[in-house]
Amino acid sequence: MQTDKAHLNHAETIEKIRARKRELGKQLIILTHHYQRKEIVELGDFAGDSFELSRKAAADRDCRYIVFCGVHFMAESAAILAQPGQVVQIPNTEAGCWMAGMAEAETVKSAWEQIESIAGGDSTIPVVYMNSDAELKSFCGNRGGIVCTSSNAAEAVKWAFGQKEKILFFPDRHLGRNVGHDLGIAPEEMVVWSPGKALGGNDPDAVRRARVILWDGYCLVHTRFTVEQIEKMRTEFPEARIVVHPECTREVVAQADACGSTSYIVKYVREAPQGSTIVIGTEINLIHRLAFEYPDKKVLDLHYSLCPNMFRINLANLFQTLENIGDMNVVGVPRQIKAGAKLALDRMLALA
């Protein structure tokens, strides 16, 4: 009985959301990240990786309201890139990102000053992963730096090396290391900066020699994947292709067949021949949706790993947001932060 009632509520809420969307028409656009629950993605107007979603937010000049079904840093980036007068709302303000919380403006500024004092005032450029607060994007923009996402990190790092000899990459040490590796940077030219330790736990010579300084942040969802899991899957499914997200460790990425952003993973599955087996190392909701959409392929998870932050968006809070359009959970960015953050985001958009 309970299940029937839950089902009915679910179907009713979906119908109410559709009706509200019809009422709002072109005034509204719902953007959904690939890690959202299947029913949320189905109700959205556009699903994508974090780069595509920011590009979409910057490009849509007609709508009045952007409802962002994703985590806070994504909605915040949309608010920075949106046109004046457009309102960005997030259905649940508690949908944060653990990794974004691992780099705070004060500690990054202190690291920056220490690096400059050791390596010279004009040696280093900051590259900030999209998974960060607006204040850090602003810090980056005001120092000639750039934002990157998992789909354009290699281009952003190449661009940054065109400006300065050394990069401070934050907050994701694994994405930074994976990109550094792909660009042929030797492991000894990359050092990890542990916030809270003097010189990030490095000796001055190591900081002077380093070409890439990696902030010690990481994603708890993606660092759950291991080489042992890959070995087990290869034994069980020798025919399988394994694709992972670049927030996984270097060791895991090295053992996989392919690595890329969430949209890359979607494309990888879409383009795989019928009957193929694909094992995926990323957030579970995306994997389940792909398994549902491609029943002619065997789509398996490398390991069950859910992002509870993404999961905070649901039908009930999406409906509530639409009922309070222009009003509830509006994502705002202070003016003094917005300008610098927009500089760094615009540099990223210009790369494409």
Q: Which residues of the chain form contacts with ligand SF4 (CB under 6 A)?
A: 71, 97-99, 131, 219, 221, 247, 283, 307, 309-310
C-alpha torsion angle, residues 286, 342, 321, 15 (rounded to 10): -50
In angstroms, the CA 42 to CA 54 distance is: 19
In angstroms, the CA 137 to CA 79 distance is: 13
Residue 216 interacting with ligand 13P (CB under 6 A): no
Q: Residue 98: which of ligand 13P, ligand SF4, none does it interact with, CB under 5 to 8 A by kind? A: ligand SF4
Closest to ligand 13P by CB, 88 or 100 = 100
On the 0-12 / 13-18 / 19+ scale of CB atoms within 10 A, 74 is buried
Give the H or E element holding residue 174: helix 173-182
Q: How many of the other CB atoms lie within 10 Å of CB of 194?
A: 15
Residue 317 interacting with ligand 13P (CB under 6 A): no
Among 13, 124, 261, 314, binds ligand 13P (CB under 6 A): 261
First to last CA, the chain: 52
- According to DSSP, residue 83 is labeled P
Beta partners for residue 280, in sequence order:
243, 301
Residue 285 interacting with ligand 13P (CB under 6 A): no
Site string for ligand 13P, 220-249 (x = CB under 6 A): -------------------------x-x--
In angstroms, the CA 167 to CA 161 distance is: 7
Minimum Å distance from CB 245 to ligand SF4?
Answer: 8
Residue 50 interacting with ligand 13P (CB under 6 A): yes
Number of residues that bind ligand 13P (CB under 6 A): 12
Closest to ligand SF4 by CB, 50 or 229 = 50
In angstroms, the CA 259 to CA 174 distance is: 12
Closest to ligand SF4 by CB, 66 or 286 = 286
For 233, phi then psi, to 5°, come to -65, -35
Distance of CA 188 to the CA centre of its chain: 27
Among 13, 86, 178, 262, binds ligand 13P (CB under 6 A): 262
Site string for ligand 13P, 10-49 (x = CB under 6 A): ------------------------x--------------x
Minimum Å distance from CB 310 to ligand SF4?
Answer: 6
Q: Residue 50: which of ligand 13P, ligand SF4, none does it interact with, CB under 5 to 8 A by kind? A: ligand 13P
Minimum Å distance from CB 124 to ligand 13P?
Answer: 25
In angstroms, the CA 72 to CA 245 distance is: 20
* Cis peptide, bond prior to residue 84, ω within 30 of zero: no
For 176, phi then psi, to 5°, come to -60, -45
Residue 152 interacting with ligand 13P (CB under 6 A): no
In angstroms, the CA 291 to CA 300 distance is: 7
Residue 321 interacting with ligand 13P (CB under 6 A): no
Give the H or E element holding residue 348: helix 335-351
Closest to ligand SF4 by CB, 210 or 265 = 265
Closest to ligand SF4 by CB, 151 or 309 = 309
Minimum Å distance from CB 309 to ligand SF4?
Answer: 5
Q: Which of residues 81-110 bind ligand 13P (CB under 6 A)?
A: none
Minimum Å distance from CB 172 to ligand 13P?
Answer: 9
Q: Which long-range contacts (CB under 8 A, 24 or more apart) does 7-14 make?
A: 10/39, 10/315, 13/315, 13/316, 13/319, 14/39, 14/43, 14/315
Residue 219 interacting with ligand 13P (CB under 6 A): yes
What residues line the site for ligand 13P (CB under 6 A)? 34, 49-51, 131, 149-150, 219, 245, 247, 261-262
